[in-house]
Structure 1
Amino acid sequence: MRLLLRTAAATLTAAALIGMPAQAAAPAVQIIKVYYDSPGKDTRSSTSLNAEYVVLKNTTRKPIQMEKWILRDKTGYKYRFLALVLKPGKTVTVRTGAGDDGTSTVYWNRGQYVWNNDGDTASIHRSSDLKKIDTCSWGRGRAWTHCP
């Protein structure tokens, strides 16, 4: 048994010494999906604007107070969260258009689109120090992207 433990420890040490990448921890709040090209013609209707959205997930085991956190695009459009507690393992969808905020969906209340269909970057920033927590980028392609 000791030989097996020594062999396992030596293997882990050797991997670290030769620079094998360590598995990075998931950010506390992760961007998991961006639907950047709403279906159909871009009419700026409420239905069309709300079909453009970002889904964020709390990857921790603790509730996260999202008040004043910022979701932004590469251009600098910003959505600032109001009083929202994102429960452990839960998601919140940020829709571009207008609607009534709830615990799982909030609305940017914009009259025009945010996310560029030919490529953009979504990023989420913590309110206390504006630290970037996670990003998701895409290029021209389908209407949505899953973010790793």
Structure 2
Amino acid sequence: MRIRTTVAAALAAGCATALLLPAQAQAAGSVHLEKIYYDSPGTDRGGNTSLNGEYVQIHNSTSKGVSLTGWTVRDAANHTYTFGTYTLGAGKTVTIRTGKGTNSSTTRYWGKSWYVWNNTSDTATLRRSTGTTVDTCSYNSSRYDYKTC
């Protein structure tokens, strides 16, 4: 009832295009955590290949590129990855791998020499450069190796 009243009031005021209902706001898109692969294949011995088997993905579902410069991804223990100068294209996904490698437009490297994501439970938090939380994704299971957010 409340939504209908709000819509009717907006239409009466000629503001129909300014009002976004929840489904419409979601359709407009967002930048969000998409997946955490927290238990890389094999034994956790700290090799770079194993470290890079652990990653977090961020997806831009908007119709425009979004600058992630200064944005951060962190786990519950406060391990923090900070984006340097970087723009995530419209409809694109970037993968942040835990180990070392050469950054590209689709893959960034945290540069760690040990694992970030716990194999049983953790929380990823995506924040803007201002510190505002954009998205969080938690998991609490050793049954799977990844979590789709």
Q: Which runs of 4+ in 1 moved over 6 A?
A: none
Identity across matched positions, percent? 42
Max Rg structure: 1
RMSD: 2.2
Map residues 102-113 of structure 1 onto 2, 5 A cutoff. 102-113=104-115
Cα deviation per residue 1:70-109 (whole Å; 9 max; x = unaligned)?
Answer: 0000111100001111000000000000000000000000
Number of aligned positions between the proteins: 132
1:89 and 1:34 map into 2 onto residues whose CA distance is 18
Letter in 2 for 1:138: Y
Cα deviation per residue 1:57-79 (whole Å; 9 max; x = unaligned)?
Answer: 01111111111100000111100
1:103 and 1:126 map into 2 onto residues whose CA distance is 19
- Tell me the TM-score normalised to structure 2 length: 0.82
Letter in 2 for 1:28: S
- Tell me the TM-score normalised to structure 1 length: 0.82
Map residues 110-129 of structure 1 onto 2, 5 A cutoff. 110-127=112-129, 129=130
Partner of 2:147: 145
> SS of the counterpart of 1:110?
coil
Unaligned runs of 5+ in 2: 8-21
Map residues 28-107 of structure 1 onto 2, 5 A cutoff. 28-107=30-109
Unaligned runs of 5+ in 1: 1-9, 17-21
Partner of 2:11: none
Letter in 2 for 1:90: K
